[in-house]
Amino acid sequence: MKILKSRRRYTTYMSGLAAVALAALAMSGCGTGLLGTAAGPSAVNLRTAGNYAILAKSGISNVSTSAITGDLGLSPAQGSYITGFSLTQDSSTVFDTSSQVTGKLYAANYGVPTPATLTSAIADMQTAYTDAAGRSSPDHTELGAGEIGGLTLKPGLYKWGTGVDISINVTLSGGSSDVWIFQIGQGLTLATGAKVVLSGGAQAKNVFWQCAGDITVNSTAVLQGIALSQTAIALKTGATANGRLFAQTDVSLEQSTVTEP
Ligand SMILES: *[C@@H]1O[C@H](CO)[C@@H](O)[C@H](O)[C@H]1NC(C)=O
Ligand SMILES: *[C@@H]1O[C@H](CO)[C@@H](O)[C@H](O)[C@H]1NC(C)=O
Ligand SMILES: *[C@@H]1O[C@H](CO)[C@@H](O)[C@H](O)[C@H]1NC(C)=O
């Protein structure tokens, strides 16, 4: 209650200041720091899906040397749909390893308890998607008509009925516990070399990209956050994802780097 009261007082006080100063403060994320509370919606609970860097239902493919930090899970598709990785089966049969994955690879036909563990993780991934997609009362709708390159975005819930393009860097500015949820009606595309830049202490684990279509991270582009696609996620040559890739069809990587938060 104390915090709510002081937030009201703060808001009343702030509303007296010039609009320009208020906008600058909000854009810089300083408002959050002064209040000492998280701004934006509450984070999406990933439950057991949060144990994986990559989850997919139909396939995970790799071309040339990718570097992944975190575990990979594929279900209901079988291990033969993890392609392009030089897999080594652990003697337990519960997981595989790969020289370029700092973590373990799991598929639905591996030894017990992997099948049940993956069924839960995939269900949790879909629950997270539904949670993100179902958040109501967006702070911004159709921002930039779907082109957010060049913008600085403060914490909040953003919604588009269309796809979203990031043609040049976009900056997410806010504190370490602030949350961004992006609800995207079609696909998300990062152009070649375009980066999601986190500033002010913002963390990838608090950024959620809920996408009804494909997520494409073009060559050398950088995605930050939890990618929740109802279809596929593709990282092109030299692309980087700092976060998690959760696809309801397949994930494809080309000489890409994926690092869990
Ligand atoms: C990806 O595939 C290439 C062959 O196309 C292979 O040399 C490389 O080791 C694979 N990367 C991983 C992470 O397994
Ligand atoms: C995009 O962000 C990166 C990393 O912060 C920076 O090095 C690069 O210069 C930026 N590119 C543009 C076009 O602003
Ligand atoms: C992104 O990659 C796709 C697929 O390779 C390509 O068709 C598209 O032109 C690229 N877009 C940009 C803006 O780089």
Residue 107 burial by Cβ neighbours in a 10 Å radius (0-12, 13-18, 19+): buried
- Bridge partners of 153, per DSSP, are 172
Ligand 3 within 6 A of CB of 117: no
User: Are the C-beta atoms of 221 and 248 separated by less than 8 Å?
Assistant: no
CA distance 193 to 68: 20
The pLDDT of residue 209? 98
149-179 pLDDT per residue, tens: 999 999 999 999 999 999 999 999 999 999 9
The pLDDT of residue 21? 42
Ligand 1 within 6 A of CB of 64: yes
| Ligand approaching nearest to the C-alpha of 254 | 1
| Ligand approaching nearest to the C-alpha of 65 | 1
C-alpha pair distances (Å), 106 with each of 7, 118, 228: 46, 8, 19
Counting ligand 2 atoms within 8 A of each CB, the residue from 148, 151, 152, 169 with the most, and so the one to mutate, is 169
Q: Name the strand (E) or helix (H) holding 148.
A: none
The neighbour count for residue 211, using CB atoms within 10 Å, is 28
| Ligand approaching nearest to the C-alpha of 62 | 1
Pairing verdict, β 88-89 and 96-97: antiparallel
CA distance 125 to 246: 7
CA distance 247 to 191: 20
The pLDDT of residue 49? 98
Sign for the pseudo-dihedral over CA of 36, 181, 20, 13: negative
The pLDDT of residue 20? 38
Given a cut of 70, the residues of the chain with pLDDT beneath it are 1-36, 64
The pLDDT of residue 22? 41
Q: What is the pTM of this model?
A: 0.85
CA distance 232 to 194: 20
Ligand 1 within 6 A of CB of 252: no
CA distance 191 to 69: 24
CA of 85 to the centre of ligand 1 (A): 5
User: Are the C-beta atoms of 61 and 250 separated by less than 8 Å?
Assistant: yes
